[in-house]
Amino acid sequence: MPSTIVVANLVEALLEFFFYGVYAVLFITVLYLFRRRHGIPPKNTSAVWVLLGLLVQFLAITGHWINTFYQIIFAIGYHGGGPAATAWYLDLTRPSFVANIALLVTSHTVTDSIVLHRLYIIFPERRNVMIFPLACFVVQVVSAIGLVARSGTSKRGEDYLDLSNGWLTAKLIASILISTYSSAMIAYKVWRVRKALQGKLSQQISHGMRLTSLLAILVESAALQT
């Protein structure tokens, strides 16, 4: 009979499979709309960085998804899902555990860097807006490196919470602050533009912007935060 830890990881793998499917649909949609707007390869330098970021993000998330399924298949297929599988999952020195941590922090870091890039583009006249999120990003990068390094030097029998508590907490707080701050500033910018344009906004959208451009912005935002 499978242990509780194996069952929990099986549920995690199935949930990740579902959310990865949602992410894959969003990624394909973003890539299609990106190609319509900028072409591939894009001629705009800013668009090149966004495309590279999206591709790295996709590779990291895909790698994490594959590694998660490898672990559950190995635990059930090779170890039988019993005590041996539990012992294998609790062994934090296994390469698949370190790989999962590395892929996870990579996807988070790339996602936040793309969000910061969009914030930088939206506020070209106010560079001081970038000071706080950049400071948080530095904290996140340092915490991510520390978390991966600590995971790579873990010893058999160590507990995951004791292993990564400080680094993981700092990284998550920094990531949440970046996301919250950037979303609030972008919403503020949109509100300012709408207020300035007032009744002319709808006319400008209907004549000066294509529907695919608006949809691309919405889908890109959803994909980046998945």
Question: What's the pLDDT tens digit per position in 4-48?
Answer: 888 888 888 899 889 999 888 988 888 888 888 777 777 777 778
| 106/161 Cα distance (integer angstroms) | 20
| 136/142 Cα distance (integer angstroms) | 10
Contacts 24+ apart (CB under 8 A), 95-98: 96/67, 96/70, 96/71, 97/151, 98/148, 98/151, 98/152
Q: Kindly tell me if the per-residue pLDDT of 117 is higher than 50.
A: yes
| 7/88 Cα distance (integer angstroms) | 14
| 114/103 Cα distance (integer angstroms) | 17
Q: What is the mean pLDDT of residues 186-204?
A: 66
**pLDDT band at 68, cuts 50/70/90?**
very high
Tokens of 219: 């889908």
Question: What's the pLDDT tens digit per position in 209-218?
Answer: 444 444 445 4
